[in-house]
């Protein structure tokens, strides 16, 4: 049996070891999930709703334990980890209302009537990255279960602990065995078997664009349903007429949240050139005062990166001689620390400007006018997120419509809410999660004609 040692990213010390599921176990669990499906889809909608509420209550009562696991195993600051555990509860509660609302339509036709049904697709394979182990698990798990699907979830190898505990909480809350299964293990072993297994009818993948592309090709061979949530290189666009104080004060949280390991990180700040000096003067104290340190401390705003390898990857974007305008602090000693770093001015071909860094590194680039801001924002293969700062309502709407991205905010740095649709344009993904329609993505529409003529 292969084991994986989970390291505490803040101390580099082992937290625990986890037995990795084998390829055979992944295949067997997929088959068990398929066996559990007919009974789960037959549970009366109100009863399925109640079971999801019981699951949410179990998560709620274990929220401190879950938060502690995320602090130890992923290095998330305790305040963020508590919020993430609360998000699992809230997402389960939100979608617990869905089973009783999965109503079809009645369509008038000559000679009878047509009715439509939302039929669950079957077993869903849910593949989760390491950056937000709890929220991203819940975004796929809750609407899939609500729609009447069974779920086999594969957390990232590096961060399996909270998903495993949530899997056991599902059983404690009364979900039948096989309805929600968590399989820790390698992507190339467990994840790939979920993609390949013919009884897994849909894959929900969140991760890198590179792996997403290969999973899409594998799903194509079986015409398997697929949702992809992939990388990002989002812009934070600041016009001269914006509230510069607020824009600068919140810019660090738009990119350094979760140490920049955030698909929605606004990692390219674009500032109208007439105010760029003033903006940089406001940004510097906002960046240098970000509290980076012990994730267990309630005052901490930014923790470590996930691993030594990932820190080396992030550092490769800031080689000797890089145009560091200013940077914040990070602890010395053990832990995969990297300080918040602002690069300016950057060349248009600088990898820190063109590629997803997935760490606390942000570039600042000037633009002259609205057209140039939109052109720069769209000059990327990605299209996940972004922010627009302006006091001109018309401009806010024009730019929001022109930026090719799935999730935007105006005069705010936050755009992800579980009750609104979430997903990417271009190479940031395919399909949408969250929002009121998410359970529909786990169903097929069936159309039945009923003759009424004698
Ligand atoms: P990946 O390396 O792509 O891994 C994501 C998940 O896929 C992990 O569970 C991984 O397992 C698994 N995996 C790897 N190879 C696989 C294969 N051949 N078949 C099936 N599964 C496989 O990404 P990551 O480094 O963990 O996450 C960072 C990336 O995710 C960034 O690009 C980020 O932007 C993106 N992301 C996007 C979003 C949204 S919502 N758009 C949210 C968060 C993150 P192992 O880890 O065990 O190898």
pLDDT at 1: 76
Residues with C-beta less than 6 Å from any ligand 1 atom: 127-132, 136, 154, 156-157, 186-188, 191-192, 195, 206-208, 211, 215, 229-232, 263, 356, 358, 384, 424, 429
CA 268 → CA 74, 284, 297, 348, 380, distances in Å?
25, 16, 29, 11, 11
**CA 128 to centroid of ligand 1, rounded, Å:** 6
- Tracing tokens 């935007």 back to the chain, one arrives at 408
Omega into 345 within 30° of 0, i.e. cis? yes
pLDDT at 239: 98
Q: Give the up-direction half-sphere exposure of residue 134: CA atoms within 13 A in the CB hemisphere.
A: 31
Phi-psi region of 333 (alpha: psi -120 to 50; beta: other; left: phi over 0): left
Rounded Cα gap, residues 88 and 278, in angstroms:
40
CA 359 → CA 75, 81, 266, distances in Å?
14, 18, 11
pLDDT bucket at 345, cuts 50 / 70 / 90? very high
pLDDT single digits (tens) 233-249: 999 999 999 999 999 99
Whose C-alpha lies nearest to ligand 1, atom 36? 207
- What's the mean pLDDT when you consider all of the chain? 98
Q: Does residue 395 have a pLDDT over 90? A: yes
Give the SS3 label for residue 75.
coil
pLDDT single digits (tens) 5-40: 999 999 999 999 999 999 999 999 999 999 999 999
Tokens of 441: 């993505």
- The best mutation among 9, 73, 208 to test binding of ligand 1, ranked by most ligand atoms within 8 Å of the C-beta, falls on 208
Q: What number of other Cβ atoms are within 10 A of residue 169's Cβ?
A: 23
**CA 6 to centroid of ligand 1, rounded, Å:** 17
pLDDT at 415: 85
Atom number of ligand 1 nearest to Cα 428: 41
- Looking at the chain, the whole-number percentage of residues with pLDDT higher than 90 is 99
Q: What pairing do the DSSP bridges indicate for beta strands 14-19 and 3-7? A: antiparallel
Average pLDDT over residues 389-407: 98
What is the sign, positive or negative, of the torsion defined by CA atoms of 8, 159, 254, 324?
positive
Average pLDDT over residues 58-73: 98
Whose C-alpha lies nearest to ligand 1, atom 23? 207
pLDDT at 255: 98
Nearest CA among 311, 357, 351 for reference residue 330: 311
pLDDT at 454: 84
pLDDT single digits (tens) 261-313: 999 999 999 999 999 999 999 999 999 999 999 999 999 999 999 999 999 99
Nearest CA among 234, 205, 207 for reference residue 218: 205
Whose C-alpha lies nearest to ligand 1, atom 35? 207
Tokens of 377: 């924002």
Q: What pairing do the DSSP bridges indicate for beta strands 443-451 and 112-120? A: antiparallel
Atom number of ligand 1 nearest to Cα 154: 9
Give the SS3 label for residue 285.
helix
The DSSP H or E segment spanning 206 is strand 200-206
Average pLDDT over residues 428-436: 97
Average pLDDT over residues 252-262: 98
Average pLDDT over residues 253-268: 98
Q: Does residue 399 have a pLDDT over 90? A: yes
Query: Helical H runs in 173-256?
Result: 192-196, 209-222, 244-256
Report, as residue numbers or ranges, the catalytic residues. 229, 263
Q: Does residue 44 have a pLDDT over 90? A: yes
Whose C-alpha lies nearest to ligand 1, atom 10? 187
Whose C-alpha lies nearest to ligand 1, atom 30? 207
pLDDT single digits (tens) 164-185: 999 999 999 999 999 999 999 9
Atom number of ligand 1 nearest to Cα 186: 47
Rounded Cα gap, residues 33 and 50, in angstroms:
21
- The best mutation among 207, 216, 386, 418 to test binding of ligand 1, ranked by most ligand atoms within 8 Å of the C-beta, falls on 207
- Tracing tokens 């390219």 back to the chain, one arrives at 268
Average pLDDT over residues 73-90: 98
What is the CA angle 264-444-49, rounded to 5? 75
Atom number of ligand 1 nearest to Cα 212: 3
Supply the DSSP symbol for 302: B
């Amino acid at each position: 049996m292969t084991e994986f040692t989970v390291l505490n990213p803040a101390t580099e010390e082992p937290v625990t070891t986890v037995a990795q599921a084998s390829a055979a176990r992944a295949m067997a669990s997929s088959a068990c999930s398929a066996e559990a499906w007919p009974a789960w889809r037959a549970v009366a909608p109100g009863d399925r709703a109640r079971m999801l509420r019981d699951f949410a209550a179990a998560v709620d009562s274990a929220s401190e334990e879950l938060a502690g696991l995320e602090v130890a195993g992923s290095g998330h600051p305790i305040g963020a980890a508590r919020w993430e555990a609360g998000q699992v509860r809230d997402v389960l509660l939100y979608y617990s209302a869905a089973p009783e609302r999965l109503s079809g339509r009645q369509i008038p036709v000559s000679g009878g009537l047509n009715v439509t049904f939302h039929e669950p697709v079957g077993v869903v394979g849910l593949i989760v990255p390491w950056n937000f182990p709890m929220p991203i698990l819940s975004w796929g798990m809750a609407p899939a279960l609500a729609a009447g699907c069974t779920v086999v979830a594969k957390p990232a190898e590096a961060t399996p602990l909270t998903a495993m505990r949530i899997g056991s909480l599902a059983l404690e809350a009364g979900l039948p065995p096989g309805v929600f299964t968590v399989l820790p293990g390698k992507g190339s072993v467990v994840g790939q078997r979920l993609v390949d297994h013919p009884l897994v009818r849909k894959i929900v993948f969140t991760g890198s664009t590179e792996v997403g592309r290969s999973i899409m090709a594998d799903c194509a061979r079986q015409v398997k349903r697929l949702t992809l949530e992939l990388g990002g290189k989002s812009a934070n666009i600041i016009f001269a007429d914006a509230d510069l104080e607020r824009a600068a004060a919140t810019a660090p949280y738009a990119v350094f949240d979760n140490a920049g390991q955030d698909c929605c990180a606004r990692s390219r700040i674009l500032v109208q050139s007439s105010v760029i000096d003033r903006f940089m003067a406001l940004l510097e104290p906002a960046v240098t005062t970000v509290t980076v340190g012990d994730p267990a401390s309630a005052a901490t705003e930014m923790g470590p990166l996930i691993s030594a390898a990932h820190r080396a990857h992030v550092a490769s974007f800031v080689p000797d001689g890089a145009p560091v305008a200013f940077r914040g602090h990070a602890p010395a000693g053990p832990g995969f620390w990297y300080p918040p770093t602002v690069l300016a001015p950057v060349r248009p071909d600088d990898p820190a400007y063109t590629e997803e860094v997935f760490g606390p590194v942000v570039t600042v680039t000037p633009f002259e006018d609205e057209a140039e801001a939109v052109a720069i924002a769209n000059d990327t293969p990605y299209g996940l997120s972004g922010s627009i700062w302006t006091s001109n309502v018309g401009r806010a709407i024009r730019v929001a419509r022109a930026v090719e991205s799935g999730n935007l905010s105006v005069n705010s740095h936050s755009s992800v809410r579980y009750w609104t649709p979430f997903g990417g344009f271009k190479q940031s993904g395919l399909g949408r999660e969250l929002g009121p329609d998410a359970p529909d993505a786990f169903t097929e529409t069936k159309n039945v004609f009923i003759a009424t003529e004698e």
